[in-house]
Amino acid sequence: MALFRWEGNGAGTKTDWDDGRNWLDPAGANYVQARYPGAIPGVHDDVIYDTALGGGALSTAGYDAVAAGDETLNRLAVGPAYNGTIGAAGAGGQIRINAADIYIQSGASGDIHLEGGTLGAGLENITVLGFTALNALYLYGHIGDLFIEKGAVILDAATVFAADASITTRYATAILADVTLTIPAGVTLPTTGIIVCFGGRINCAAETVELYVYGGEWTQAADLMKLGMTGGQCIWNDGDITAAVLEGGTLNGSGSVISRVVDHIYVYRGATLNLNNGVLGSITIGTVHEAWGGVTTWQPGDRLIQV
């Protein structure tokens, strides 16, 4: 493999990913035009954005490495000193690649737009440990595991996770403020992998198979098959829940008047279930409701109905 460090100040078009003159080798020399990341079959290159753009240098524009037949990258990393953008919104604006690892610890960059190119490959492992407060990582296409500790991540509606992928949100110092994750309707979430929320504010409008909330705030607005909670809050605004086990934290359905069903629910000591949304009969307990010392708040006048 070879290491490529973005300079963005070559003799050609300074925004071109596929011009080696915009990239520096480990010795600080520019590559030749034809040697850019992924240009050699069988060689899995490393790409690094870790220095501030110099005078006259420009950020990387969109590029489709998959359509060009380029090789899968070993790693794409963004360090805290890089102050440009990577890719852009809109058709063709993304950097479309296959890469084993994506690592973001950016303190100065603008928005980053990355697209995983191929089902079963794409962006296989994504780690976000830091990001600027005013900008975000935008993800598109096919992706694998996603780990976020600090920063804003926004998924495109056509994003497809690998079936066995995992999604984990944590926090560095502020349990709610450090992480935001936006999952719009249309996203295909993991079907055999699990989603774990330890922190952050997550807004999910996509169907979810298995979710565990240990801290932070998860807002769900689509069907959810299995929910486990030991802390934090799950704000339940739409969609039905097949099974929920609450060992702590709060499942809060009080903020939405949309009709919903939770089929099996178990509320243990230290957990709270709030179904008081002001509309009689709009939230239905299906087959099982077992209370083992937890607190359940109903709409006044409501009653349990088995369906």
pLDDT of residue 307: 45
Alpha-carbon span 205 to 220, nearest angstrom:
6
Query: What does residue 87 show for φ and ψ, rounded to 5 degrees?
Result: 70, -170
Tell me if 277 sits within 8 A of 255, measured CB to CB. Answer: yes
Q: Please compute the mean of the pLDDT values over residues 160-179 and round it to a whole number.
A: 97
Alpha-carbon span 58 to 85, nearest angstrom:
9
Nearest to 285, CA basis, from 268, 266, 305, 300: 305
Q: Does residue 151 come out as left (phi exceeding 0), alpha (psi in the -120 to 50 range) or beta?
A: left
Alpha-carbon span 293 to 269, nearest angstrom:
4
Tell me if 147 sits within 8 A of 102, measured CB to CB. Answer: no
pLDDT exceeds 50 at position 273? yes
pLDDT of residue 107: 82
Each residue's pLDDT tens digit, 27-70: 999 999 999 999 999 999 999 999 999 999 999 999 999 999 99
Nearest to 229, CA basis, from 208, 249, 203: 249
- Give residue limits of the domains in the chain: 3-243
Instruction: Count other Cβ atoms within 10 Å, centred on residue 160.
Output: 19
pLDDT of residue 306: 47
Each residue's pLDDT tens digit, 73-126: 999 999 999 999 999 999 999 999 999 999 999 888 999 999 999 877 899 999
